Amino acid sequence: MSAPIAFAASAASGSQGPPPSLTRAHLELLNPPNGGCTARPGAAFDTIEFHFNPRELRFTKSAQWRRSPQRNTRRSGVPEFQGPDPCRLTLEMFFDATDTMDDKVVKAVEKLFTCVVPTDGTLANAKPCPPWVVLRWGVLSGFTAFVRDVTATFTLFTPGGLPVRALCSVTLEEIAGVPPRQNPTSGGVGTHDVHVVVAGDSLAAVAYRAYGDPNLWRALARVNGIDDPMRLRHGTRLIVPAREELADAR
């Protein structure tokens, strides 16, 4: 089972260099699967940019237990484990348009609300499903989830009544289904995550971030059909499968 979040390796202690540039957090929107909400997702089709990076990220993980009633005793029943609940991430998104006094706050909130309604494509296929989302923030990559709820509070308006500031509380819930594996004879692997290449990225760094082992860059290259790992193009989308699936591709 993969960890809810993944971080890249920290810089070596005592190393010198320029301070890192500010990286904006964003929600990446993925096309939901055609075969239902527990299959493999489609490609990313949009993003929701944070106007200001979140101050905190609150993760919640719990489990279900059951106790059977015990008669003629003062002791409670023995708890029986029923299974884990999905991981949840709660965060706040602050939108502000006081510099431009336009409708970009309204558009951002409207886009958030579209994340809790089915996409046109799934409605056409008679299997309605909202888009899947992943939180991306520099070296942090959250779990694949759906938006459970959104609460938007508009706090500032123009004299004409246009909202130019809003605070949104968003809860993301981990997708419960596990992507099915492909037939081993097909030579393919099931998609676990997608990484978008940015400046300075390397396959070794991506492998370390995903698996804690930079030596897995060769298997990662085979999965993605990369012949020259030294020439990764900015914006390339890398398939990052689960570690056990990556082992099948080595």
Give dist(CA 112, CA 231) in Å, integer.
Answer: 36
Residue 92's DSSP bridge partners are 169
Instruction: Give 30-34 contacts, CB < 8 A, sequence gap 24+.
Output: 30/131, 30/132, 30/133, 30/134, 30/144, 31/119, 31/121, 31/131, 31/132, 32/119, 32/121, 32/122, 32/129, 32/130, 32/131, 32/132, 33/129, 34/121, 34/122, 34/125, 34/127
In the chain, what are the domain boundaries?
23-59+81-180, 181-250
Per-residue pLDDT, averaged over 171-186, amounts to 58
Predicted local distance difference test score (pLDDT) of residue 214: 86
Predicted local distance difference test score (pLDDT) of residue 138: 83
Give 56's pLDDT tier (boundaries 50, 70, 90).
Answer: very high
pLDDT at residue 172 greater than cutoff 80: yes
Residue 26's DSSP bridge partners are 49, 136
Alpha-carbon distances, residue 122 vs 9, 164, 191, 229 (angstroms): 38, 33, 20, 36
Label residues 141-168 b or e (16+ Cβ within 10 Å = b): bbbbbbbbebebebeeeeeeeebbbbeb
Region of poorest pLDDT, from 52-56, 129-133, 150-154, 207-211: 207-211
Q: Are 166 and 105 in contact (CB under 8 A)?
A: yes
Predicted local distance difference test score (pLDDT) of residue 189: 40
Predicted local distance difference test score (pLDDT) of residue 142: 81
The CATH-assigned architecture of domain 181-250 is Roll (3.10)
pLDDT at residue 69 greater than cutoff 90: no
**Using CA of residue 36, residue 40, residue 43, residue 48, what is the dihedral sign?**
positive
Amino acid at 160: G
| Tokens 């719990």, located at residue | 62
- pTM exceeds cut of 0.75: no
**Using CA of residue 17, residue 52, residue 237, residue 180, what is the dihedral sign?**
positive
Give 7's pLDDT tier (boundaries 50, 70, 90).
Answer: very low
